[in-house]
Amino acid sequence: MYDKSVRRRRVALALLVACSLLLLTAYFGESQGGGLHSVQRGVLQVVSPIQEGASRALKPVRDLFGWFGDTINAKGEVSGLKKQNAVLRRAAIAGTDAVRMNAELQKLVGLDQSAGLQGTKPVAARVIGGSPTIWNSTINIDVGTGDGVRVGQPAITGDGLVGEVTFAASDSAVVTLITDSSSAVPSRISRTGAPGIVQTGAGGPRDLRFNWPSGTGRIDRGMAVVTAGTTSSSDKYESLYPPGIPVGVVTGVDDAGTDTQQVHVDPYADMQRLEFVQVLTRRVNGNRG
């Protein structure tokens, strides 16, 4: 039974192939007005409206699938663009940060050269913490005794004096700023040489006082205040700060010319935005002026 069924299928297939060949031969052999061409046109006329109707009916379905596909692709593109944007943003921030840090370090080098501090063996440090109070009286730095840092050494930025080291561990240290109430910096007016002591005032961390013991001479707004350095020839009185380091600028004088006059000084260094400092680890000639 199985062999007979197979033979019948093969015979039917052969007849269909033969009929197809005959029809194709006849179709391509007759003119455009032939019977087979007429049958084709008739079939197309009947089928075309059905195809058009089916196409219109299925268009919303196709559009829906297309919308899903476009949405998925769009989400993928948005995700990729977000990742790319994040990478570019990180690169831009890193570049901006690097430019700013480089500018700060360049200022440090510039102050070393202009104030003649190369011989003090300056050690660069990053600020890693600070006082939680608004006065920012201390900062923590990432260098210590292992780097040659000791208590009593001055700290500067590229803008000027910051303070002195008051505690040192092997790999970190604490710097007490000149805005701290315990700080007192022997200073002088750069233009006239008038000596005084810079200490904190009552107006905040950017309002220091230049206490002027002699009270002689004239101090005007805009005059620069710098560290005085040691004036005595005795090594016993070595200065904590080398001479000529910028401290601040005179912003005003209250009751000028009287015994109660007060000289206001704005420090050059911004104590609330310190990132890098240098610790001057070596005295040169007793820090004499």
Each residue of 183-230: pLDDT tens digit? 899 999 998 888 889 998 776 667 899 987 666 678 889 999 999 987
The pLDDT of residue 216 is: 62
| Centroid of chain to Cα 140 | 21
Go through 78-105 and write b for each residue having 16 or more CB atoms within 10 A of its CB, e for each that does not.
Answer: eeeeeeeeeeeeeeeeeeeeeeeeeebe
The pLDDT of residue 175 is: 94
DSSP 29: H
* Percentage with pLDDT > 90 across the chain: 27
Q: Are 125 and 278 in contact (CB under 8 A)?
A: yes
Q: Is the pLDDT of residue 115 over 80?
A: no
Mean pLDDT score of the chain, rounded to an integer? 76
**Mean pLDDT, rounded, for 132-152:** 86
Q: Is the pLDDT of residue 237 over 80?
A: no
The pLDDT of residue 137 is: 87
For residue 267, what are the contacts with CB-CB under 8 A and spacing of at least 6?
Answer: 160, 161, 178, 179, 205, 206, 208, 247, 248
> What is the pTM assigned to this prediction?
0.62
pLDDT higher at 20 or 93: 20
pLDDT higher at 42 or 122: 122
For residue 166, what are the contacts with CB-CB under 8 A and spacing of at least 6?
Answer: 138, 151, 174, 175, 176
SS3 257: coil
- Report the C-alpha gap between 165 and 151 in whole angstroms: 5
The pLDDT of residue 273 is: 85
Q: Which residue has the tokens 């002026």?
A: 289
Q: Is the pLDDT of residue 28 over 60?
A: no
Dump pLDDT digits (tens) for 57-78: 656 656 666 666 666 666 666 6
Q: Highest-confidence range of 88-97, 138-147, 199-208, by mean pLDDT?
A: 138-147
The pLDDT of residue 229 is: 83
Query: Cα dist. 94→81, 91, 108, 120, 126 in Å?
Result: 20, 5, 21, 32, 17
- Report the C-alpha gap between 124 and 162 in whole angstroms: 13
Burial, 59: exposed, middle or buried (Cβ in 10 Å; 0-12, 13-18, 19+)? Answer: exposed
Q: Is the pLDDT of residue 247 over 60?
A: yes
The pLDDT of residue 32 is: 61
For residue 83, what are the contacts with CB-CB under 8 A and spacing of at least 6?
Answer: none
Q: Are 23 and 36 in contact (CB under 8 A)?
A: yes
Q: Which two tokens stand for residue 223?
A: 């005059």
Dump pLDDT digits (tens) for 155-187: 999 889 999 999 999 999 999 999 988 889 999
The pLDDT of residue 133 is: 67
pLDDT higher at 212 or 150: 150
